[in-house]
Structures are given as C-alpha cells and as structure tokens.
Structure 1
Amino acid sequence: MKINVDQRALADAARWASRYIADKPTVPVLSGLLLNAHDDVLTISGFDYDTSGRATVAADTASSGSIVVPGRLLADVTATLPDSMVELTADDDTLTVTAPGNQFTLPLLPAREYPALPKAPAPTGTADAAEFAAAVKDVATAAMATKDAVGQVEGLGGIRIRAQGERLELTATDRYRIPFRTLPWQPNGPADDTMLITAPILADIAKSLSSGEVSISFPGPGDGMAGFATTDRTVAVRTRVGGFPPVENLVPKTEAATGYAEFDPAELAAAARRVAIVREKNKLVRVTLRGDHAEIVARGDGPAASTSIETTVDGVDDGFEIAFDPEYLTTMLAPLGDRVRIWLYTPTRPVLIEPLDGTPYRAVLMPVRVKQ
C-alpha cells in the first residue's frame, strides 16, 4: 500500500476512529486501526465488538491495500506532523509515515486476525445532526444509572429512540428522572421503530456526528445492529436486548394536578445548587411556595442555607412544600431556556416539568420523601 493524504484530514480521521478502540482489547489486534486504501479513498476503522467506526478520507492511491496499525500510536503520530501532504507506505511488517522533515516507522498488526466489521442496516431516515446530538444530551443524564440500579430494572442505562412518523422521541430513566425529547426527522418510508442503546455510547456517537445531516438506521428483523452516518463518518452499534420500562404510564396527567408553579429554570437551578452546598450527604433541597415567591432551603448537620426566587402559582396552597435531590432537579431543568411550568400534586407524588416556550421537551421528576 502506498498513498498520499492531507495531514489534517488523516489526523482527524485517525483520532475519530481511535475512539472505537477498547481501552483493554480482548484480542491484541483490536488495539489497531484498520486502514484500507483503494480508488483514491482511505478508510480508517476502529472496532471493539460492540461498536465500529469508519472514517473516509480522500487520498492519492498509488497502490491499494489493507493493513492494521496500532491505533492510538497512529493518531498521536499524525497529529504531530506539519500541515502538509503525508505519504503512507506499507510493506509486510511496517508502515512508514513520511512528511516534510519527518519520518516514523510503525509496526503492523496481523490483518488476517482482524474481525469482519459489522454492517448497519440501510438508513431508516435522516435528521439534523446538531439537533439529534442536543436531544441525546438532554436525556442522557437520566440514563447514567448506578450499576445496582441497572441490575434491578430492565432498560436502565440505555436511551430509547422511537420513530413515530416524522418525529423521533428519545427518553431515558433512572427510576427518579424521566426526560422526554422529540425532534423532527425525514423517514425513508413508514416509520414505527424502536431501539435501545447504551447511554454513554450513544452520547459519544451523537457528539462526534454533530454537523450536517445524520442518517439513522434502526435494526432490521433479527439484527441487533443500528447505524449512524454522515458524509464521511459511519458508526455501527449493537443495540441492547430487552425491554424498556413503561415510562408513559408514569407521566402525571395535568388535569389531575393540584396546581402549578412557574419559574425561570436557570434561576431555580442556580438557587438549588447554591443552597445545596451546605448538604454533605443525603442531599435534598426544599421548595416552599409562598405567594409570588418560592423559598429554596437546605439544611446540613449544623449549616443551613435559604434563598428566595420569584414564581407564579396557581391552584396551590400557600406554604406547599416539596423536596428534591438538587442534582436531579437541575439536570431536568438544564435543557430549558425560558419559563417552565412545574405541575404539582402532593409532596410525595412525581411532578411534571413542561416548558412554556414550545421546546420539545418534558420531564417527570420524583420528589424526595422528607421525614417530619
């Protein structure tokens, strides 16, 4: 194999593909990146048995071929080279990387031992990549459940993606938080599909494919692979087996609410973070509604803190108090940029958080039961 390729494009592709190399590969060859050069295209692939990533780069192909190179070493080497054309020349045992004034010789790994890369199904539809990445970010926090919690409830630790016509809905839960986020997309045909993907993996994929349009492939019948692709990046990822909790049954109905309180979400989140400083463990903050303001209070073993913020209340008695984990409260408010309405029931029933500006997001949040 002998090719010439732009340094910036090569370094970026090698860095991106190396994110799909496992930290501790089960077989040594999976510590490498697979380089395949043909027809003036260089494809760089990484694989860890659950996820594969392929980046394509335009190249001047003097001779074709496929090799496997230590992945992170290739990414580090190409990143240090000057902004110029780079020549890659491979023989049976080594890859020589040459740029003006620089030459590196890297050992090759046995390409015959590299496993076949999985292929994603044909695209089911496309969405704006930046909006898809934002939607994944909005729900991912609630999927970062503890190992104990994941073992107790099927579906925890994953993000469910559901196609419903020209809309995608993403949701996740850790039993205490349930965010829902929707976004438009363009299906290639009738769309009524669902898949569940491990949250950190999907968050990383969405972040790395956040420009232009992203093609999304739902698994076919009997196929556990999903796909996400842009013009020069493709990821195939194994979906999770098993169901997802019936979270729709847990969404409180607004007509059953006692009433609601409206807040500036950034102001409420900042107040919760501020007073929570005095809580060292078993964190909770109490929100007490008093007329046109809310008192946000936290008490530790000695220290205490309180702050007051403006609110609009309807249907809720003066002095109504409810407590939340401050981290859970702030993460459910984070996607919201304008006024938010929190529907209230009793101090121990989940609340429903809805934006007032039309943001395609809502969340269910479980309060903390407070011992009197």
Structure 2
Amino acid sequence: MRFRVKRELLTEAVTWGTRCAVARPVTPALGGALLSLTGGEFTVASLDGESSARITVAVEAGVDGAALVSARLLVEITKALPDQAIDVELTAGVLRLRCGAGRFGLPTMPAEEYPRRPELRSSTGTVDPAVFGAAVAQVAVAASREESLPILTCVRVAVEGSRMTLLASDRYRVSRCELPWQPADPKRTGEYLVAARPLLEAARAFAPIPAELAIVVDDDAFGGGTIGFTAAGRQLTARLFEGTFPPMGRLIDAPRPAAVTASAAELTEVVKRVALFADRLTPVVLRLEPGALTVEARGAQDAEASETIEADYTGRPTTLAFNETYLLDGLRAVGGPAVTLSFDDPHKPVSLSPRGASGSAYVLQPVRVKDQLTE
C-alpha cells in the first residue's frame, strides 16, 4: 500500500473511521483500525462487536493494499502531524508516514485476525440528517441507563409508509417523536430496537453532513440484525436488539384536559436557578395559578428559592412536582420557543410538548411531595 494524502483529509478519515475501535481490547486486533486502498479510494474501518464505523475518501492513486494498525496510535500521530501532504507506505510490516521532515512508523498486526465487518444491503429508506439528529436527541434522553433492563436502554424505531416514529422510556418518563422519511418500499413496515448510545452517536455524527442519510436494516448482517447509517462515504452500524418494547406509547396518548404554556427558555433558566436550592431528595415544585407559574425548591437548613414567570393557564390552582434532572431533560428535548405541560391529575403522568406541534411529546411521572412543600 502506498499513496499520498492531504493531512486534513487523513485526519478526518482517521477520526471518523476509528470511532468504534475498542479502547481497552482483550486482544490487540480489536483495538485496531483496518486501512485499505483500492483504486484511489482509501478506507478506514473499526468495530467493537456491537457497532462499526467506516469511511472512504478519494486520494492520489497509488499501490493498493491493506494494513491493520493500532487505532489509538494512528489517531495521535495524524493529529500531531504538520499541515503538509503525507506520504503513506506499507513496507516490511510497518506502516510508514512521511510528512515534511518527520518520519513515523506504525507496526502492523495480521489483517486476517480482524473480525469480519458487516456488509450492508441496499437502503431501506432515507431521511434528512438534521431532522433525524434532532429527533434522536429528543427521544434518547428518556432511555434507561440500567443494563439490567436491556430493552429499556434501547430506542424503538418504527417505520410505516412515509413516517418514522422514535420511542424511548426508562419507566419514569417516555419520549416520542415522529418524523418524515422516504422508504425504498412504501409498503414496508417494521419495529427495530437500537441501543440509545450508538443511535445517538450516529445521529450526532451525521447531523452536520449536507447529504441525504440512508438507513439500512439488515436482518442477516453482523451475526444478527443490524441497522446501518450511510452518507457521503461514511458508515456507522449498530446491532439490533431482540425483544418487544413495552407499550409505553399509550401513556403519551392518554387524554389530559388541563394545560399550561410558558416560554421554554425562560422556564428552563428558572428551573436551573431554583434547583440550586434543592437537595438530592427534594423535587422542584411548579405552582400553577391563572396567568402565572411559580417554581419552588427547598433544601437543607431552611434553604429555599422561588421565582414566578408569566404563563398561559386558566385552570384552578394546581401543584406539580418533578425530579429536577428529568424535568430539565424534558424541557431541552421538546425544543421550540414555548412548551406546553398537559395533565389530568397532579399525580398522573404529565406531557411536555412544543406549543402547536404534533407528533412530539415527552411524558414525565410527577413526584409525590410532602405536605409542607405543597401547602
């Protein structure tokens, strides 16, 4: 393998292509990055057993070949190189990089020891990467972090016709978002469980790329079901989970006749300030009165805080109490200039949604508070 490449292009390829390399591998090969050159196309790939990354970029034509090197060392070297053209050559089992007056050699590992990478089939459908990124960010925040409940660490991705629906829940909250997508087969329907962490990483990675994002669902690749994301020569894949997601969607669709609407940004900042006075076990309290919303919190040694903002509310005085972190997650997730909190009973799940928006909601279970906090 021998070719020349710009330092900026090599750094981009290495940064993307090594993102799934194992940081502390059981065997050295799993901490490696597989490099290959075929007809002027340079590819960097990595995998960790659950997910994989690959990027292909065009370089000056050279001698084709492949090499498996330490991903960590490759990243550190490429980032440290000066901004000059880099000559890359594989000789005598060493990958040599020459940049200006610098000479660097990376020992290689047997490429045949590297696990087989997933080869995905044709696209299942396409979606706007920015819209998809925003939807995943809204929903993934509600996924559980408890590994003892693996199904709840996933996001349910459902497709039907030209609509995609994302849903996640950790039992204390539920988040759902619907978005348009272009299916390759308009009649295809399906539900897929994807671990929230790699899904969120993929959504963030592709969001700024100005190219249509293709999504591939392959029931056979990677030793089981796999979902892949591809755009502009980049690819990320994640293993699909088996199982059935709990029917959490019904909590979102439950009728909630009472509602209060306020500025999302203003309410978020007020909750942040007031929550400084709450201790770990004390919730943030929202007092609703016609035309006003008051946020309160109490902490140790009689510490307390209260702040009132304008709100569109015409119902009877009501008190809602929430876990501070979950409430802030919901306010950030729904987005939009104004947020509406809809409810039926102060002790039943409350829905947060952007005012006037449909298909997007975050449902949160209120906290029961002691009498002295609600009187």
Normalising by the smaller structure, the TM-score range is: over 0.9
Contact 1:181 1:361 in 2 (8 A): yes
Q: Aligned to 2:320, which of 319, 322, 331?
A: 322
1:337 paired residue number: 336
Instruction: Please state how far the C-alpha of 1:325 moved relative to its aligned partner.
Output: 1.0
Q: Distance in 1 between matches of 2:16 and 2:227?
A: 19
Contact 1:154 1:243 in 2 (8 A): no
Instruction: Please state how far the C-alpha of 1:213 moved relative to its aligned partner.
Output: 1.4
Q: How is 1:203-214 mapped onto 2 (pairs within 5 angstroms)?
A: 203-210=200-207, 211=209, 212-214=211-213
1:362 paired residue number: 361
2:218 paired residue number: 219
Deviations for 1:212-257, whole angstroms, at most 9, x for unmatched residues?
2110012337941111001210122111222211111222533xx3
Does the residue aligned with 2:260 lie in a helix, a strand or coil?
strand
Q: How is 1:106-255 mapped onto 2 (pairs within 5 angstroms)?
A: 106-143=106-143, 145-147=144-146, 150-151=147-148, 153=149, 155-189=151-185, 190-210=187-207, 211=209, 212-220=211-219, 223-254=224-255
Structure 2 CA distance for partners of 1:120 and 1:282, relative to 1, 3 Å: farther
1:52 paired residue number: 52
2:275 paired residue number: 276
Does the residue aligned with 1:298 lie in a helix, a strand or coil?
strand
Does the residue aligned with 1:237 lie in a helix, a strand or coil?
strand
Q: Distance in 2 between matches of 1:339 and 1:50?
A: 39
Letter of the 1:166 partner, please give it: S
Consecutive unaligned residues of structure 1, counting only runs of 5 or more, are: none
2:13 paired residue number: 13
Letter of the 2:311 partner, please give it: T
Percentage identity across aligned positions?
32
Deviations for 1:6-62, whole angstroms, at most 9, x for unmatched residues?
221111110111211112223211111101111111111011111111111112232
Instruction: Please state how far the C-alpha of 1:359 moved relative to its aligned partner.
Output: 6.3
2:2 paired residue number: 2
Letter of the 2:170 partner, please give it: D
Does the residue aligned with 1:76 lie in a helix, a strand or coil?
helix
Contact 1:121 1:220 in 2 (8 A): no
1:265 paired residue number: 264
2:352 paired residue number: 353
Q: Distance in 2 between matches of 1:6 and 1:110?
A: 27
- Return structure 1 stretches of 4+ with deviation > 4 angstroms: none
Letter of the 2:168 partner, please give it: A
Structure 2 CA distance for partners of 1:216 and 1:286, relative to 1, 3 Å: same
Letter of the 1:236 partner, please give it: T
Q: Distance in 2 between matches of 1:225 and 1:252?
A: 30
Q: Distance in 2 between matches of 1:326 and 1:239?
A: 32
Asked whether 1:297 is paired with 2:296, we answer yes
Q: Distance in 2 between matches of 1:141 and 1:134?
A: 12
Q: Distance in 2 between matches of 1:290 and 1:358?
A: 24
Deviations for 1:318-346, whole angstroms, at most 9, x for unmatched residues?
2x111111211121111322222211211
1:24 paired residue number: 24
Asked whether 1:34 is paired with 2:31, we answer no
Does the residue aligned with 2:321 lie in a helix, a strand or coil?
strand
Q: Distance in 1 between matches of 2:57 and 2:355?
A: 45
Q: Distance in 1 between matches of 2:81 and 2:25?
A: 27
| TM-score of the aligned structures, taking structure 1 as reference length | 0.93
Contact 1:276 1:283 in 2 (8 A): no
Q: Distance in 2 between matches of 1:337 and 1:251?
A: 19
Structure 2 CA distance for partners of 1:5 and 1:72, relative to 1, 3 Å: same
